[in-house]
Amino acid sequence: EAGVTQFPSHSVIEKGQTVTLRCDPISGHDNLYWYRRVMGKEIKFLLHFVKESKQDESGMPNNRFLAERTGGTYSTLKVQPAELEDSGVYFCASSQAPGVRGYTFGSGTRLTVV
């Protein structure tokens, strides 16, 4: 089966600009998650979709971050306007049965805000 696909793999933007990250989960996986790792810190949860609904968005840092999942398929994470502290690696993961099969992660998007 195809894995979790994320793009772009890298993005460099200026402070104040907008960036949109995209994640295509494994086909048939209802659960989709966003995580991020900022420099020197552990990977942290951002939010969880079940199909097109946000199940848990407690990890979203502030209202500059907006996540959507169109029709329960791919998801986008928009940062607007971007700040320097948003730099890091953003990971997407999907799962059909996390308690039994765990999670499959994408390769991540490395975001650099200058």
Partner 1 sequence: KQEVTQIPAALSVPEGENLVLNCSFTDSAIYNLQWFRQDPGKGLTSLLLIQSSQREQTSGRLNASLDKSSGRSTLYIAASQPGDSATYLCAVIQGAQKLVFGQGTRLTINP
Positions that interact with partner 1 (CB under 8 A) = 4, 6, 31, 33, 35, 41-45, 48, 55-56, 58-59, 91, 93, 98-108, 110
Closest approach, Cβ 12 to partner 1, in A, equals: 15
Contact yes or no for 10/3 (Cβ under 8 A): no
Beta carbon nearer to partner 1, 37 or 78: 37
Closest approach, Cβ 18 to partner 1, in A, equals: 24
Closest approach, Cβ 10 to partner 1, in A, equals: 9
Closest approach, Cβ 72 to partner 1, in A, equals: 16
Beta carbon nearer to partner 1, 72 or 81: 72
Beta carbon nearer to partner 1, 17 or 87: 87
CB burial readout 41-71, b (16+ within 10 A) else e: eeeeebbbbeeeeeeeeeebeeeebebebee
Beta carbon nearer to partner 1, 57 or 81: 57
Query: C-alpha 79: how far from its chain's center?
Result: 11
According to DSSP, the β-strands at 44-50 and 53-56 are antiparallel
Burial class (CB in 10 A: 0-12, 13-18, 19+), 9: exposed
